[in-house]
Structure formats: C-alpha cells, structure tokens
C-alpha cells in the first residue's frame, strides 16, 4: 500500500531525543491522487531563519509538523546524531520534556540550525 514516511522526533524512555520513521498509509482519494486520512491540526506558523542561525538544545513545547519550504534545516541530538531536511521534506517534532523532569541541556532535547547558502523558511503546523 502506498504511504508517506512520517519522520518523528520524540523523547525516548531514557529521556533523550530520538528519531524514528513511521508510515502514513494513503488509503483515500483516487489512484491519480492518493490521500491520507484527514489529520487534525489547530494552527500554523511560518518562520524565517537567517543564514547562520543555530539554536541551543531545547525540547518541543507543543507537538507539531515541521515542513521545510526553503533552505535546509539540520536537527542535532545528544551524542552527535543529526539529520538534514531539505525543501519539500518534513518531520513531526514531539520531543517533549519528560513529565516531572527539569530541563538538562546535556540530556534533553535537540538543536536546530540553518545550513547552506539560503535562509531557512519553515512551516510549523500544530496538531
């Protein structure tokens, strides 16, 4: 069955951010335009990050889809793992601070940065 890969940035049982891939099966529409089921959302934001932008380690506050519209975004995790997302790519950001935990930048969250010659333009869709 055709699907779209949902890259998920989440918090593992050990409290650290991780990536995992999960298929979203395209079960609706027609053979010429397959669709996923309707997914919930509650609002969106657009962001422009200039060349050279880099965040500190942080956790996602509200789970959200992140779509790369322009430029490139690198997401880095503790231990040196990172992934680069290019225009047209997306991921679901849900690496929340574990309940009852105090944020520790040596353990929790991820960082993001703009890479390449173009500013980073992203669309955040809260779900």
Span 26-36, pLDDT tens digits? 999 999 999 99
Is 15 within 8 Å of 101 (Cβ atoms)?
yes
| CATH code of the region 3-126 | 2.60.120.10
- pLDDT above 90 (res 127): no
Give the confidence band of 119 by pLDDT, cuts at 50, 70, 90. Answer: very high
Strand partners, 18: 10
Closest-CA residue to 91 (of 13, 3, 20, 14): 20
Of 71, 85, 77, give the one whose Cα is nearest residue 105: 77
pLDDT for 48 equals 98
Q: Is the pLDDT of residue 1 over 90?
A: no
Q: Within a 10 A sphere around the Cβ of 103, how many other Cβ atoms?
A: 12
- pLDDT value of residue 17: 97
Q: Would you kindly state where each structural domain of the chain is located, as residue ranges?
A: 3-126
pTM: 0.92
Instruction: Please give the sequence-ordered ranges of beta strands (E in DSSP) within 1-127, or none if there are none.
Output: 3-11, 17-25, 28-30, 33-35, 43-49, 64-70, 72-77, 82-85, 90-94, 110-115, 120-126
Q: Which tokens sit at 48?
A: 């422009």
Summary mean pLDDT of the chain: 96
> What are 19's strand-pairing partners?
9
């Amino acid at each position: 069955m055709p699907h779209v890969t949902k890259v998920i940035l989440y918090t593992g049982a050990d409290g650290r951010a991780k990536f995992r891939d999960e298929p979203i099966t395209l079960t609706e529409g027609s053979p010429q335009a397959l669709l996923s089921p309707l997914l919930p959302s509650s609002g969106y934001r657009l962001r422009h990050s200039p060349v050279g932008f880099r965040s500190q380690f942080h956790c996602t506050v509200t789970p959200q889809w992140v779509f790369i519209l322009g430029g490139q975004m690198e997401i880095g995790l503790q231990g040196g793992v990172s992934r680069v997302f290019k225009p047209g790519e997306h991921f679901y950001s849900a690496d929340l601070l574990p309940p009852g935990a105090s944020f520790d930048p040596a353990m929790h969250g991820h960082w993001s940065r703009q890479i390449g010659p173009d500013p980073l333009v992203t669309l955040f869709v809260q779900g």
